Every structure is written in C-alpha cells, then in structure tokens.
Structure 1
C-alpha cells in the first residue's frame, strides 16, 4: 500500500487536504485497468489564493500538520507490515486498564456493580503488576479455572453459573478492547471459550399475590406505590426513579409515559392504565421527580421482603420481580408476545420468550390430560 497526501480545490476556492491509500491495480475481463484506491479526508483546508501574511502562515501550519499526519499513517503502516510492538501501550497494567473501562460504565448502575465485583476476583487471581502485553491464552484459561474452582461469594459459596459467565465476560471484553486499541498484538479471547450461560429463575407474583400485597401495609408508601406501578407497567427501578412529570402525558382517553430508558438509551412511548396513572398521584412541576424519596439499597430491598411476608408471600421478591410480574400478567391475560416485548423495551424477542415459557398454557393442560387413576393407598 502507498499513502499519499492529496489536494482538491473546492467550489468555495479553498483547497481540501486528504490522504489517498493506493493498493495497486487489477485488469478486468475486458482488459480495463481497475485501480484500488481509498480516501481519508482530513478536514484541513488551505486558502486557495493566500494574499495576506496571516493567510500564508495559516497555509504553512495547516500543510505542516497534514504532512505530520501522513508521516504517522506511514509509520502505522510499517508497524503493521513488520509486526512492530507498541511497547509503551503494552506496558499498561491490566488492572489499571480494566478500571479505566469500568469507569466508562459508571452511569449504568447494575452493569458497573458487576464490573466492580469481577474486578475484585481478577485482582485476587492476577499479579498486581502484570502488564497487558504479558496476557496470553494461559492467563485467560487460568482465570476461567479460578472462577470455576476457587472463587467464592461473600457468603463463601461457589459462584453460580451465570455469575461465572458474567465475570469472565468482563475480562474478555477488556482484552477485546485492548486488542482493538493496540495494547495487545494477539486476540487471545478467540482461543478461549467462555462459560455457557445458565437459565436464570425469574421470580414473579401471581395476580392473587399482587392483590394480597396491594392490601398489605408497607412501611414506605413511596416504595409500595412505585413497586405496584412497576407491576402494572413493567418499568425498571432505574426508569421509575428518574421519572419526572414532563414525561407523564394525560391525553384525552389514554395515559402514557414518554421516556428514555436508562439501560438502553432507547426512547419509549408507553401507554399505561388508569390505575397505574393513579399510582403516580397529582401532577407536579414538569422538572420534579414523580416518586420523591425512592431509594435503591439493602434497606428498601429488605422492606420488600418483610412486606411480602406480611402478605403471606414466601417468594424471594426484589424490585425487579415487579417487571417479571408485569410480563407474566400481560401474557396470561391475552397480550401477544410481540406487544409484551415492545412494552418491556426488549431488543430481541427471545428475551421475552422466557416469560412465555413460564405461562405455557399447553403445558398446564398436559399436566391434567392423563385420566385419573383409582389408587389404593393401603
């Protein structure tokens, strides 16, 4: 490949600077010469007819910058051609680089926490001063073995299948990024298979259980309203927590919420029932939070469990269980899976199909399809 600095005169009179990447030529079946060229426009411009000393000086500086870029591009080409290692990047410590990528995910609460938890295990397994350039297939296999055989939770129990899957994928993501950015010369992730993902249990409430919970006192009124609202709408805790009044639309015959999902950044238009709207209360100032005082943490999570116990519910219910409850109730009451998927903001229909498995009517019918036996229990 040959890289050259080129100039193109524009209709405005200015001259645009760009790089041409020339990969040679070929002859087609008709004997025509086909040149293989690619272009990269630098968004640098020269004055077409510089008159003042200032314009001439600007042209000189711009041209000098473009030539420096050309030199760097040629150096990158030579580095790739002869497999020259970028020693400076490679010397970056793995744990430091991991932390850098982790901080970029700070806005995503759940994901950030997973990165933090995975980091603690990586820190226990690896040497504190290991550089990225020293990471190889054996290191990756070693961490996988550590997660499978040695790693323990805070309660000193082995990691679950999905936890191993999640933690190992965090390191895989880091190493993929390191390879893409030139910290690693070899894509070590390709050679080591990850953990298979286990099917997680999705705890939910039946309609009668939700009714019992609705009739039972909760220590925090805001928590009770927000939780039941989630059961009726499917909204995540993060979206309910940040919901403001300007996102609530009281239209002629319907109520809906127009909001941007915190997890996916997707803009959602969600119709809600009249009862769900009543749980929001009287409309406040456009910039005010709808549910003031709602908190995420062990204290509120513990209150949800106590609230359930008071209602006679022994399931391990969390705030996220409200979202599962909404999906199951919608499907049980005739909503099609595509509509449920859209309401929950799922990117893929297969994510929603897990709920369809929970309420499989045919399976329920099959359980009672065998005629009753006359059993002598003596």
Structure 2
C-alpha cells in the first residue's frame, strides 16, 4: 500500500557574499518535512525579488525570463514526482533532485554491453562465432587501455571518432589483415546496433562506418586436379582417410562441421527413391537436402564399419578441423597440386567444378549449398566465367 506523502516546492534567493545587491535563485523541494535545495544558477537583483509570491517584480525582460524559468522548474518537478509514483519508487528529496539533474540514470558501459551480448547470444550463436566475439571484445578493451588509459567506457561517450580510432588500432596489430580487421569492425557495429535496439544509446556512432572487404581469390580444384587427387596412391591410412572425406565433401558441398555431424538419421530416401542427405547447416541452421552422387555414396560405404564412426555414431570418422587441414596440405604436396588446400576448398569445388561447370542451374546449386540468397552463390558463377575466358584465350592462341 502506498503511504501518503506531502510534497511541496518553493523558491527563494540567497545573497552573494561579495555582491550583497545580487542573489542566487534556488528551488526547495520538501517531502514529509525533509528539505533539499537545488541551485537554478540564475543571478537576480535582490530588490526585484518578491519572496511572498516567489517571483520577480516588474515587467523587465530579465524578470519575464526568470519567472518563466520558475514556472518551468515547478512544472518539471511535479512531473518528476508523478513519474516516480507511477514507477512505484520510494520517493525521497534526494531521488527527486537526482532525477531533475539527470544523475539518477544508470549509464551502461561497453563492458556491460559485451557481457550482455555474451550471456544472451551464447545460446544462439555457434561456438566459433562466440569465440570471435570474445576476441573482438578483448581488442576493444585493449584499445581503451592503450588509447584512453581506461578499462571501460560509457556507451554514451563512444562516438564516430572512437570508431575510427578502433579501426586504426586494429591496423597497427601485427598479423591482422584487412578482411580479418573488417570482421572485427563488423562485430563492433553489431554490438552497437544491439545497444541501440536496447535503447542504451540514442544514436549509433558506428552506423556511418563502411566495411571495406578485399576480394579474395577462391581456392577450388579443377576437374583434372580433382581426378588427380582421387587417383593418388596414399600408403598412409590416415592421409587416405582424410583424402576420402575431403572428396566426399567435394561431391556434397557440405562444410566441415556438417560432415562431422552426419549420422544415420541424416541419410534418407528422397523423392527419386535414391539416397539423399537431409540435414541443417551448422552455421546458419538452414535446411539442406542433397542427393548422393555415386562418388559420395561409395565413400560412405567404405567407412560405414570404421570403429571411430561407430563409436561416435557418425557416418564418417572425421578428425578435428585443424588436423584435417594439416593432413590436406600433406596430401596436396604428395599429389603435386600447387594449391593451399583446406576443408572449405571442397565446398568451393562442389559449387564450381562439380555442379556449375557441368550445367547445374545456379538456383539448384544455391539450394544445395543452403544459401539464403542466390547472390551469395553468384560468386561461384563469376569464377566459372573467368575459367571459361581463360580457356578461350588459350584456344585463340592455338587457332
């Protein structure tokens, strides 16, 4: 039950010590007999002040402005009192004064924003993505420490200059290239957009910052290189296994995490009565349905009884991503393929050499890859166009 409160507002002046003919104007708030004064920072002539009516006497412009200020402050203080009642606050003179001066609001810091993001998005985003956010957060804190000699900053103090400064700080880090730098800036922009959505800031200082990614040459295997890799005799069983799993990805387009997660439940019969893979992309949770090509099906049959696959209840005995990529470099060297292979090269190979180069429509390829937008798939089409142009240039020379 709300207790009855007495609330009153009055105005008075206090003479200046060195200028007795002048005085400072004050507002006094009283709640249940407790009083607190607020300086309105207005100087007035003592002989023009009427304490009985709490206003300036006369019709001078100065008197008009002072009396207007008094009315505005009185109205504002009553509104604050009403608002605090609606918020069901325990109203005190200190709280009313703090609200009037704007010092009662809790201003959120950058560290609090990062902590809020980690707590609430940790269950939504993938482990790898959250790991990247942790790195970006560490860079932001180090930037604060080295540039501003602070361990934290209020979000309201972060401006466009802070944003440009963070980019400059990242560019001075050894081993961080432009695209990696831009990914950190992208995550910083997303953090500040979250703060804006939460109404923690009125204006997003990173909105004007434009991300500038460099185009990267896409690594994929040509038809001849793919056949060469498949035919390479590998005595080492570990290399042979990793080569086969890589080939499987070349004929399914699945990313590393999705191949590793495959189990018997993902293998189903499709609309054509043949085996399909029904799964979801680990990165985007997008549903994908992939008809099994003969090369991929043969590899599944080859390893269906592998102890590691049976132990993990998976279709294939996949090594860690780091080890797999390490073995792929050895395999490429043995097969005399002068390309820096990684597991993701298989996905690029599926999109270019296996599908688009063989006339599969780009709309179908986009579905098989689990892309949300066909524009994401079109980068592979541009790669194919460049290959055609190169081949035709060679033909012109021979003709």
TM-score normalised according to structure 2 size: 0.64
Question: CA–CA distance in 2 between the matches of 1:324 and 1:371?
Answer: 29
Deviates more, 1:256-265 or 1:108-117: 108-117
Question: Alpha-carbon deviation of 1:120?
Answer: 3.3
The answer to whether residue 346 in structure 2 is matched with residue 326 in structure 1 is no
Q: Which residue of 1 aligns with 2:136?
A: 118
Question: Alpha-carbon deviation of 1:112?
Answer: 2.8
Q: Which residue of 2 aligns with 1:200?
A: 216
Question: CA–CA distance in 2 between the matches of 1:83 and 1:335?
Answer: 67
Instruction: Please state whether the residue corresponding to 1:233 is helix, strand or coil.
Output: coil
Q: Which residue of 1 aligns with 2:378?
A: 353
Question: CA–CA distance in 2 between the matches of 1:83 and 1:278?
Answer: 74
Question: Alpha-carbon deviation of 1:250?
Answer: 4.3
The answer to whether residue 292 in structure 2 is matched with residue 255 in structure 1 is no
2:161 to 130, 135, 138: 138
2:196 to 176, 179, 191: 179
Q: Which residue of 2 aligns with 1:335?
A: 360
- Equivalence map 1:46-125=2 (5 Å): 71=86, 87-88=105-106, 90-92=107-109, 94-102=110-118, 104-105=121-122, 107-125=125-143
Specify the structure having the higher radius of gyration (Cα). 2
> Structure 1, residues 89-131: CA drift from partner, whole Å, max 9, x if none?
x243x13422442462475244234323323322321132223
Question: CA–CA distance in 2 between the matches of 1:72 and 1:164?
Answer: 44
- Equivalence map 1:8-47=2 (5 Å): none
Q: Which residue of 1 aligns with 2:180?
A: 163
Question: Alpha-carbon deviation of 1:351?
Answer: 1.3
Instruction: Please state whether the residue corresponding to 1:280 is helix, strand or coil.
Output: helix
Question: CA–CA distance in 2 between the matches of 1:86 and 1:255?
Answer: 65
The 1:117–1:201 alpha-carbon spacing in structure 2 relative to 1, beyond 3 Å, is farther
Instruction: Please state whether the residue corresponding to 1:249 is helix, strand or coil.
Output: strand
- Equivalence map 1:353-372=2 (5 Å): 353-360=378-385, 363-364=389-390, 367-368=393-394
Question: CA–CA distance in 2 between the matches of 1:175 and 1:83?
Answer: 27
Counterpart contact for 1:147–1:164, Cα < 8 Å: yes
Question: CA–CA distance in 2 between the matches of 1:290 and 1:370?
Answer: 47
1:152 to 174, 186, 197: 174
Q: Which residue of 2 aligns with 1:279?
A: 299
Question: CA–CA distance in 1 between the matches of 2:242 and 2:391?
Answer: 37
Counterpart contact for 1:121–1:151, Cα < 8 Å: no
> Structure 1, residues 45-73: CA drift from partner, whole Å, max 9, x if none?
xxxxxxxxxxxxxxxxxxxxxxx9x9459
The answer to whether residue 224 in structure 2 is matched with residue 212 in structure 1 is no
How many matched pairs?
287
Structure 2: gaps (5+ residues)? 1-82, 89-99, 146-150
Question: CA–CA distance in 1 between the matches of 2:114 and 2:326?
Answer: 32
Deviates more, 1:119-128 or 1:98-107: 98-107
Question: Alpha-carbon deviation of 1:331?
Answer: 1.1
Q: Which residue of 2 aligns with 1:232?
A: 251
Counterpart contact for 2:156–2:201, Cα < 8 Å: yes
Counterpart contact for 1:86–1:183, Cα < 8 Å: no
Structure 1: gaps (5+ residues)? 1-67, 74-81, 154-158, 374-378
Instruction: Please state whether the residue corresponding to 1:188 is helix, strand or coil.
Output: coil
2:339 to 308, 315, 333: 315
Instruction: Please state whether the residue corresponding to 2:321 is helix, strand or coil.
Output: coil
Counterpart contact for 2:264–2:314, Cα < 8 Å: yes
Instruction: Please state whether the residue corresponding to 1:256 is helix, strand or coil.
Output: strand
Counterpart contact for 2:185–2:211, Cα < 8 Å: yes
> Structure 1, residues 177-199: CA drift from partner, whole Å, max 9, x if none?
01211222322223x32231222
Counterpart contact for 1:85–1:185, Cα < 8 Å: no
Q: Which residue of 1 aligns with 2:290?
A: 270
